[in-house]
Structure 1
Amino acid sequence: MLGMPGSVITTTRPVLLEQAAREHLRVHSPIDGALVGLIRISDETEIIDAVRTARATLPAWSGTSATDRGRRIRAAASAVRGVIDELAALQHAETGRPVTYARAGVLAGVEILERYAELGPVHRGRSVLGKQAAVDLTVPEPLGVVAVLTSWNDPVAVSCGLLGAALATGNTVVFKPSERTAHLGLRLAEVVASALPTGVLGVLSGDGRTGARLTAEPGIDLIAHVGSAETGRDIAEVAARAGTAVLLENGGNDALIVDEGVDIGWAAEQTARAAFAETGQRRASVERVYVHRAVAAVFQHRLAAEADRLAAGSGRFAETWPSDDELGPLVDRHSRERVHDQVSEAVAQGAWALAGGRIPRGPGAYYPATVLADCTPQMRVMREETCGPVAALRVVEDFDQALTEAAQDRHGRAATVLTASMSRAQRAWRELPVGTVRVNSVAGAGPGSDVRPRRGFGTGLSFAFGPELLDEMTAMKVVHLGLAVPGERPIKRVVTAMYGGEEEHDA
């Protein structure tokens, strides 16, 4: 076993190669294809037991004061901080993410846990105006057992956000991390659970079949999932039949508009950062780029030069992007094939690869930074999530066309506008039907300021890990307290003269 303490339901363990069978996950490094490890997949009995244990521990945990829950979560944050380097190394091994980025992601997870340790105790209901002889109020209560399923591309921060919000509000959790970050997910669960009472946090390991079985378990009250749109659709269907609450953030196809009048070199650098950083696998990565015809020729040339500068390399990375000269791998070769299929299909339909567009030789799952010109709205690379280092360019005649086409997004997650015009910036954030609009900056936002997608691939108010997520993790109960007691003398209001005026008091 991975040394899982009693506070975690132990359902997985690495095994020796000769013991491996079909019931084990094989995790390979996308850097060189080497085997990272083997982890046993949780079976049906373990899934049922995990949910039952979470249900059994729910009354005690929900009955714990919010202040004491906050102390526990703060201790969990401290424990995670103590293993930052270990978690970053695991993420690098399993996903190829540069260690510097991985450390930043772990630190973000620590800060999110600390945030919920503070926000949980001050989460509150409201009083409601009613009759004079009554008190009406709303009180937040835990939803119950929460199934948390997370993605591989920002695994620690996202997991800490969902776990922190669920635990702070008195829910118990069964956690199934992505199979692509199985070792990382198990270790993170072990560390967080070490600060919690036994059974409050359970962890399962497996692929999509394990997640599907978990979400179909009758004892689940809320499913919180960050991952692919396809998986999100399946979860939504299962939850609709069972009446289970859901929080989903699924996929993205974010747009970026390059307006006339901007500094072309700056715009190219911003676009490259948005599309290619972390190999285009961030939740906030830009995939569609709409360029004003007045600047299109020069911009395309400059962006292609930025892409050519980023070589798919051996995994050595500088401290900050975009000063590094190498691009990391995609998470696995299956993802690379999917990215390349979209690129090849676009080229066959008339797009031009100004940079990249070819699978490099050698081990690993590397793919070059790719710039596609002459893209049309009908191409899959413009309509579907790519999740790779690909910038699909479309030349537009004016800002109106850019806004119109950028808004044609079934995800509605985010969009970015680079413009020298304040009035156009105002139009963009008002008119684009997305959860987040960035103006003249492709990265950076205050804590809790990034909200969920607007369309069919997100439900719930916020996955930005701010105070709103606490509302989504709870059910509001309305309480009406009538003040009159049967047989008690009714209250009468008496008015008496006082200092030339009148005063009301009880008789």
Structure 2
Amino acid sequence: MRDIERVLTAEWTAAQTEEWITKTDPADGSPVGRIPVTPPAGVIEAVRAAHDAAPGWARTSPSARAAAVQDAARAIEEHIEDLAWLTTREMGRPVAEAQAGVAAGVATLRQYAELGPLHRGHSLAGDWEATDLMAYEPRGVAGVITPWNDPVAVSCGLIGAALVTGNAVVYKPSERTPGTGWLLGRLIGELLPPGVFATLCGGPAVGALLTEQPLDVIAHVGSTATGRRIALAAAVTGAAVLLENGGKDPLIVDADVDPGWAAEQAATGAFANAGQLCTAVERIYVHERIAGDFLDALTKQAEQIRVGPGWDPDSQLGPLVDRQLRDLVHAQVREAVAAGAQPRCGGELPDGPGAFYPPTVLAGCTEQMAVLREETFGPVAPVVAVGSFEEALRQADFGDYGLAATVLTGSVAHAQQAWRELAVGTVKINDVFGGAPGGAAQPRRASGAGFGYGPELLDEFTTVKVVHLAPAPHSHRA
């Protein structure tokens, strides 16, 4: 087997460890490589070193910190093909999409390198003789725990914002994309002073041990279950917590839109990255007046998608990350069909190797089905026909999650009503993946807490100190 370290760099030296992560390609089960798991002593030492390095990094000028992040962006851009190839081989994403994800990470690093030196406090209106201000300071040591489904783009956002605001970072990428995470961490870490940045490799045990350490802030993008465990650990240690967790994002299709166009939007939202996106469309509410035409068009869209290995340039939809996830997705589909949902296409496990799952359209779904209540994270589009826009809003607001929602409507009044009433962090009108750069949403309910993007992310990695500086009274001299 070719070790992952040989893919990354001939100079990489395997760590001293008794445990390794072995990765296989989810498209065909072929070996990708292996990477060493950070032992407990390594986790503890990384946090200790980060605490030692944090004061010096905090005193480094914002412009110098920004320059280091710009250097990291250039290094990642130079390795875009390596990072994309590793992503494709480790989690199955079509290579062109994987390259776009790495490019998005580069752009995000550059964004925070530019914003970091502009991050500012406030002066306050106090007495004439005094100076009053609110000054921001880095929190100290940030634990950054990131997912496998878009491993470079998500990591770069959190790491970039943490570094430019003066925090030392201990980075734990997902064990499902360990090689991608290791290479990304190596490219960033070698450009920073010792201790300022460390990468930990491993699964839940490594992540849990990290969250038990004396961190000042923990940023996590991933499952709701893991987010809850992190919040509990932080309640003990006192770390601030930034979470973007699971979603069950609805798509509402109003009666006045073209059903063919709406089906294109739904297919994009439900099947991109094989449905393995936090903001994927996971449930669809369509007005009964156009439901038949919409379902016909969506089914046709799904049937035309070319499924294949991510490294095949003709593939439009790759495999799921592994068969464990595929089993969970298929269990939801089987349960829905047993309860009365009608599969319009897909819904069957394919023969052959790998973790492939076909684009699946389910009609006649109800709120009692897990496919409408629980996060699916696969290429499944469950559809519910509703009698009114108000009924669609009511059902879309059902459940534990509150990440994002999309509304397709030609009515300005309905658009206004939707963004006002839906209890989610992001509402997109007539564009399932649209939005200007810099949007900083706050997830609701079980989907998380805190700003995950935009300039406001810098606030999450800083803390504010109020300063009142008054003159001493004149001393009396004999």
Bin for the TM-score computed over the shorter chain: over 0.9
Q: Does 1:420 align with 2:402?
A: no
Contiguous gaps of at least 5 residues in structure 1? 319-323, 490-507
- Give the corresponding residue for 2:137: 141
- Give the corresponding residue for 1:354: 344
Distance 1:90 1:14 in 2: 20
Q: Does 1:244 align with 2:233?
A: no
Give the deviation of 1:456 after TM superposition: 3.0
Distance 1:313 1:167 in 2: 38
Q: Does 1:101 align with 2:66?
A: no
Which amino acid is the alignment partner of residue 339 of structure 1? V
Is the 1:249–1:453 Cα contact (8 Å) retained in structure 2? yes
Is the 1:14–1:37 Cα contact (8 Å) retained in structure 2? no
- Give the corresponding residue for 1:62: 58
Q: What whole-Å deviation, never above 9, does each CA across 1:267-295 have from its counterpart, x for those lacking one?
A: 11110111011111122210010010111
Question: Residues 404 and 230 (structure 1 numbering): CA distance in 2 closer, same or farther, change over 3 Å?
Answer: same
Give the deviation of 1:326 after TM superposition: 4.0
Question: Residues 174 and 439 (structure 1 numbering): CA distance in 2 closer, same or farther, change over 3 Å?
Answer: same
Question: Residues 352 and 157 (structure 1 numbering): CA distance in 2 closer, same or farther, change over 3 Å?
Answer: same
Question: Residues 181 and 314 (structure 1 numbering): CA distance in 2 closer, same or farther, change over 3 Å?
Answer: closer
Give the deviation of 1:457 after TM superposition: 2.6
Which amino acid is the alignment partner of residue 476 of structure 1? V
- Give the corresponding residue for 2:24: 28
Give the deviation of 1:459 after TM superposition: 1.4
Q: Which has the larger radius of gyration?
A: 1
Distance 1:110 1:316 in 2: 22
Q: Which moved more, 1:476-485 or 1:258-267?
A: 476-485
Distance 2:35 2:476 in 1: 67
Distance 1:396 1:75 in 2: 52
- Give the corresponding residue for 1:501: none
Question: Residues 292 and 243 (structure 1 numbering): CA distance in 2 closer, same or farther, change over 3 Å?
Answer: same
SS in 2 for 1:312: coil
- Give the corresponding residue for 1:299: 294
Q: Does 1:463 align with 2:452?
A: yes
Is the 2:94–2:309 Cα contact (8 Å) retained in structure 1? no
Distance 1:314 1:84 in 2: 19
Counterpart selection for 1:280 from 275, 282, 286: 275
Alignment of 1:308-323 (within 5 A): 308-315=303-310
Q: What whole-Å deviation, never above 9, does each CA across 1:126-169 have from its counterpart, x for those lacking one?
A: 01222232211011111111111000011101101110011001
SS in 1 for 2:391: helix
- Give the corresponding residue for 2:106: 110
Which amino acid is the alignment partner of residue 288 of structure 1? R
Counterpart selection for 1:475 from 453, 463, 477: 463
Alignment of 1:92-241 (within 5 A): 92-217=88-213, 219-241=214-236
Distance 2:404 2:476 in 1: 60
Distance 2:138 2:6 in 1: 30
Give the deviation of 1:477 after TM superposition: 0.4
SS in 1 for 2:290: helix
SS in 1 for 2:292: helix
Q: What whole-Å deviation, never above 9, does each CA across 1:25-69 have from its counterpart, x for those lacking one?
A: 111111101121111111111111110110111111111011111
Question: Residues 316 and 200 (structure 1 numbering): CA distance in 2 closer, same or farther, change over 3 Å?
Answer: closer
Is the 1:312–1:327 Cα contact (8 Å) retained in structure 2? yes
Question: Residues 474 and 325 (structure 1 numbering): CA distance in 2 closer, same or farther, change over 3 Å?
Answer: closer
Question: Residues 350 and 72 (structure 1 numbering): CA distance in 2 closer, same or farther, change over 3 Å?
Answer: same
Distance 1:384 1:126 in 2: 43
Question: Residues 136 and 450 (structure 1 numbering): CA distance in 2 closer, same or farther, change over 3 Å?
Answer: closer
Give the deviation of 1:299 after TM superposition: 0.9
Q: Does 1:52 align with 2:52?
A: no
Q: Does 1:487 align with 2:462?
A: no
Is the 1:133–1:484 Cα contact (8 Å) retained in structure 2? no
Alignment of 1:291-440 (within 5 A): 291-315=286-310, 326-440=316-430
Give the deviation of 1:398 after TM superposition: 0.1
Q: Which moved more, 1:296-305 or 1:471-480?
A: 296-305
SS in 1 for 2:445: coil
TM-score by length of 1: 0.90
Question: Residues 50 and 261 (structure 1 numbering): CA distance in 2 closer, same or farther, change over 3 Å?
Answer: same
Which amino acid is the alignment partner of residue 268 of structure 2? R
State how many pairs are aligned: 471
Is the 1:274–1:442 Cα contact (8 Å) retained in structure 2? yes
Is the 1:126–1:138 Cα contact (8 Å) retained in structure 2? yes
Contiguous gaps of at least 5 residues in structure 2? none
Is the 1:14–1:38 Cα contact (8 Å) retained in structure 2? no
Give the deviation of 1:241 after TM superposition: 2.0
Question: Residues 364 and 109 (structure 1 numbering): CA distance in 2 closer, same or farther, change over 3 Å?
Answer: same
TM-score by length of 2: 0.95
Distance 2:469 2:140 in 1: 25
Is the 2:88–2:310 Cα contact (8 Å) retained in structure 1? no
Is the 2:108–2:153 Cα contact (8 Å) retained in structure 1? yes
Counterpart selection for 2:77 from 51, 76, 81: 81
SS in 1 for 2:444: coil
Distance 2:399 2:407 in 1: 15
Distance 1:451 1:48 in 2: 33
Q: What whole-Å deviation, never above 9, does each CA across 1:467-505 have from its counterpart, x for those lacking one?
A: 10111101100000113434289xxxxxxxxxxxxxxxx
Regions of 4+ moved over 4 Å: 1-5
Is the 2:223–2:245 Cα contact (8 Å) retained in structure 1? yes
Which amino acid is the alignment partner of residue 449 of structure 2? T
Q: What whole-Å deviation, never above 9, does each CA across 1:352-404 have from its counterpart, x for those lacking one?
A: 11110001001110000001111111111101110000011111110000011
- Give the corresponding residue for 1:454: 444
